[in-house]
């Protein structure tokens, strides 16, 4: 199976949750607590029923989930695939995936990875953990990256053809390249 078939909604939401909510990370751009609910609602807009069920009481659960997912990305960044797998196994044990088919509004059947009646935080925990676990099990753990720009630490899903992405954005990439250029051009660097 090709890599693109593994890059599902759960993985994208996991990345976005980490970048929006993970404590002390995301380049210092974590959503303030009063802005967390709208930030989560925006992330869950990919699944309107989830966004409709989201409540302020769910915010702490999503912040906790973001921290747990951040630890998975940290393990992968540091070469700790075994540790990342153990964290994902723990999340899946506490929030097991219960796949079922659901008919979407467009008439297509779609595979969901949570119990039909799951609350919104456990549901998204199962979805995100299952998506990241599938990436690891398919040998694509190296596609789950952390930005190499100094001070950034945002995470990303590397969807490049040659799996060579090192930065979360073009902005970070350009900033690092410009700093390297200035260093090479500095007086006394010949």
pLDDT in tens, 7-40: 588 999 999 999 999 865 544 455 556 688 999 9
Task: Report the alpha-carbon distance of residue 56 to residue 139 in Å, rounded.
Answer: 37
Question: Residue ranges per domain, the chain?
Answer: 3-185
Task: Report the alpha-carbon distance of residue 142 to residue 35 in Å, rounded.
Answer: 32
Concatenated DSSP letters of 138-187: TT-GGGEEE--STTT--EEE---TTS---SSSHHHHHHHHHHHHHHHHST
Token readout for 153 is: 């630490």
The pLDDT assigned to 9 comes to 87
pLDDT in tens, 98-136: 888 888 878 889 887 777 788 999 999 999 999 999 999
**pTM of the model as a whole:** 0.85
Kindly report the number of other CB atoms within 10 A of residue 188's CB atom. 4
- Strands (E) located in the chain: 99-103, 109-113, 144-146, 155-157
The pLDDT assigned to 23 comes to 64
Task: Report the alpha-carbon distance of residue 18 to residue 49 in Å, rounded.
Answer: 22
Q: Was domain 3-185 assigned CATH 1.10.3300.10?
A: yes
CB 12 within 8 A of CB 144: no
Residue 151 scores a pLDDT above 90: no
- How far is C-alpha 92 from the chain's CA centre? 16
């Amino acid at each position: 199976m090709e890599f693109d078939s593994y890059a599902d909604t759960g993985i994208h939401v996991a990345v976005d949750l980490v970048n929006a909510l993970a404590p002390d990370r995301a380049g210092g751009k974590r959503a303030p607590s009063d802005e967390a609910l709208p930030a989560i609602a925006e992330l869950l807009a990919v699944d309107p029923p989830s966004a409709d069920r989201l409540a302020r009481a769910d915010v702490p659960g999503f912040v906790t989930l973001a921290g747990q997912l951040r630890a998975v990305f940290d393990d992968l960044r540091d070469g700790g695939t075994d540790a990342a797998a153990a964290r994902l196994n723990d999340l899946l044990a506490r929030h097991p995936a219960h796949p079922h088919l659901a008919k979407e509004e467009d008439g297509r059947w779609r595979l969901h990875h949570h119990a039909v009646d799951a609350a919104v935080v456990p549901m998204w925990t199962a979805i995100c953990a299952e998506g990241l676990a599938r990436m690891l099990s398919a040998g694509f753990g190296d596609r789950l990256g952390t930005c190499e720009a100094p001070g950034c630490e945002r995470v990303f899903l590397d969807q490049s053809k040659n799996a060579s992405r090192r930065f979360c954005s073009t902005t970070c990439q350009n900033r690092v390249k410009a700093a390297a250029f200035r260093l090479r051009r500095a007086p006394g660097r010949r």
